[in-house]
């Protein structure tokens, strides 16, 4: 038990490979993280995939504790009342109960591979699919970290009903970090980095909104 505790402390506090050092690198130097990994310089970093899993699990747990998506469901249910049946309005709440509040995990399992595929298609001359997946792991980690920073202000400013603000925040942050990765990690020009980042985020968000919309309409109106 003592050895295990020592190993855990070492993982989280080691100056070069700690989880806190990696979080700082992701936030401030995402391009460097990507370029180092593509060049095989990986031992200096905390495991990026484990970090993203930890962040997604932590954000999901915090959302459940704070009832983040319950507020979102309530705001959308309020918009539906008077226009749709009580049964359909009730299903809106059920949808967010079963799907919405676990969005971060759904994103990790389903949308991350989709975004990686789009990234690969857009950056196909620079990255293979595995490398494109890694880019999404890094930018996804940055989003989760900033989401934690913005969570309480967002809930306070919206009176506990954030609605689509998290999606907007995700789109903006992914755009910024993909630009940084393209410019500083892949050596693209600013113009090349911006248009590729905009293409990935635009196509990815459009597809994810369409998939979510289809699932939402099926659950609320068609089933």
pLDDT at position 175 is 97
pLDDT at position 100 is 66
How many angstroms separate the Cα of 124 from the Cα of each of 39, 171, 202?
18, 22, 17
User: Is residue 9, in this structure, part of any structural domain at all?
Assistant: no
- Please identify every stretch of the chain with a pLDDT value under 50, giving residue numbers as ranges: 1-15
Residue 196 structural domain: 22-222
User: Is residue 135, in this structure, part of any structural domain at all?
Assistant: yes
CB environment 18-29: b (16+ within 10 A), e (fewer) = bbebbbebbeee
pLDDT at position 86 is 87
User: Is residue 173, in this structure, part of any structural domain at all?
Assistant: yes
Give how many domains the chain has, as a whole number.
1
User: Is residue 27, in this structure, part of any structural domain at all?
Assistant: yes
User: Is residue 132, in this structure, part of any structural domain at all?
Assistant: yes
pLDDT at position 29 is 96
């Amino acid at each position: 038990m003592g050895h295990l505790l020592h190993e855990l402390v070492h993982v989280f506090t080691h100056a070069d490979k700690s989880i806190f050092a990696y979080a700082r690198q992701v936030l401030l130097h995402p391009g460097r993280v990507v370029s180092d990994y593509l060049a095989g310089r990986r031992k200096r970093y905390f495991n990026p995939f484990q970090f993203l899993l930890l962040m997604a699990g932590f954000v999901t747990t915090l959302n459940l504790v704070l009832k983040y998506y319950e507020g979102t469901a309530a705001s959308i249910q309020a918009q539906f009342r008077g226009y749709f049946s009580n049964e359909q309005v009730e299903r809106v709440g059920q949808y967010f109960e079963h799907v919405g509040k676990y969005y971060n995990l759904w994103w990790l399992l389903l949308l991350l591979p989709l975004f990686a595929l789009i990234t690969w298609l857009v950056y196909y001359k620079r990255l293979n699919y595995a490398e494109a997946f890694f880019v999404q792991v890094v930018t996804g980690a940055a989003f989760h970290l900033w989401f934690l920073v913005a969570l309480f202000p967002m809930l306070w400013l919206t009176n506990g009903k954030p609605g689509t603000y998290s999606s907007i925040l995700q789109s903006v942050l992914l755009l910024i970090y993909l630009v940084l990765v393209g410019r500083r990690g892949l050596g693209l020009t600013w113009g090349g980095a911006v248009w590729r980042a905009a293409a990935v985020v635009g196509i990815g968000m459009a597809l994810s909104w369409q998939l979510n919309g289809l699932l939402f309409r099926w659950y609320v109106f068609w089933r």
